[in-house]
Chain A
Amino acid sequence: MALAKRIIPCLDVDNGRVVKGVNFVDIRDAGDPVEIARRYNDQGADEITFLDITATHEGRDTTVHTVEQIASEVFIPLTVGGGIRELKDIRNMLNAGADKVGINSAAIKNPEFVKAAADKFGSQCIVIAIDAKQVEPNADGTPRWEIFTHGGRRATGIDAIDWAVRMVNFGAGEILLTSMDRDGTKNGFDNDLTSRISKAVPVPVIASGGVGNLDHLVEGVTKGLADAVLAASIFHFGEYTVPEAKQYMAERGIEMRL
Chain B
Amino acid sequence: MTTPSVAVIDYGMGNLHSVASALAKVGGDLDIRVTDDRAQIISADRIIFPGVGAIRDCMGEIRRLKLDDVVSHCIAAGKPVLAVCVGMQALMSHSEENGGVDCIDSIAGHVRFFGENHKDADGNKLKVPHMGWNNVFQKKAHPLWKGIADGSRFYFVHSYFVQAEDQRLVTGVSDYGREFHSVLSRDNVFAAQFHPEKSGDAGLQLLKNFLNWNGEPSP
Contact = CB atoms under 8 A, between A and B. Distances in A.
Interface residues of A, number: 34
A125 to B, nearest CB: 8
B18 to A, nearest CB: 6
Contacts of A97: 15, 17-18, 21
Interface string A39-59: 001001010000000000000
A75 B176 contact: no
A242 to B, nearest CB: 12
Central interface residue in B132, B175, B199, B204, by most chain A CB within 10 Å: B132
A173 B24 CA distance: 29
B155 to A, nearest CB: 6
A99 B18 contact: yes
B28 interface: no
A14 interface: no
Contacts of A169: none
Contacts of B203: 75
A46 B15 CA distance: 20
A75 B22 contact: yes
Interface stretch (A2-10, A81-89, A131-139, A140-148): A2-10
Given A75-B204, A122-B53, A124-B157, A202 B128 contact: yes
A75 B175 contact: no
Interface in A14-66: 41, 44, 46
Nearest to B14: A122
A76 interface: yes
A75 B25 CA distance: 10
A1 to B, nearest CB: 5
> Taking chain A's interface residues, is the majority helix, strand, or loop, or is none over half, making it mixed?
loop
Interface in B116-157: 116, 120, 125-135, 151, 153, 155-157
Nearest to A174: B131
A168 B73 CA distance: 40
B15 A4 contact: no
Contacts of B197: 75
Given A75-B199, A202-B116, A3 B17 contact: no
Contacts of A182: none
A99 to B, nearest CB: 7
A97 B132 CA distance: 18
A1 B128 contact: no
Interface residues of B, number: 38
Interface in A71-103: 71-73, 75-77, 94-97, 99
Contacts of B198: 75-77, 99
B17 A2 contact: no
A257 B21 contact: no
A3 B158 CA distance: 13
A70 to B, nearest CB: 10
A41 B18 contact: no
Nearest to A5: B132
Given A76-B155, A77-B198, A122-B52, A227 B132 contact: yes
Contact of B17 (A41, A96, A199): A96
A96 B133 CA distance: 23
A192 B192 CA distance: 38
B54 interface: yes
27 contacts: A2-B134, A3-B130, A3-B176, A4-B134, A6-B132, A71-B21, A72-B24, A72-B25, A73-B21, A75-B18, A75-B22, A75-B199, A76-B198, A77-B198, A94-B15, A97-B15, A121-B53, A122-B54, A124-B131, A173-B131, A173-B157, A199-B125, A203-B127, A203-B128, A204-B131, A227-B132, A257-B153
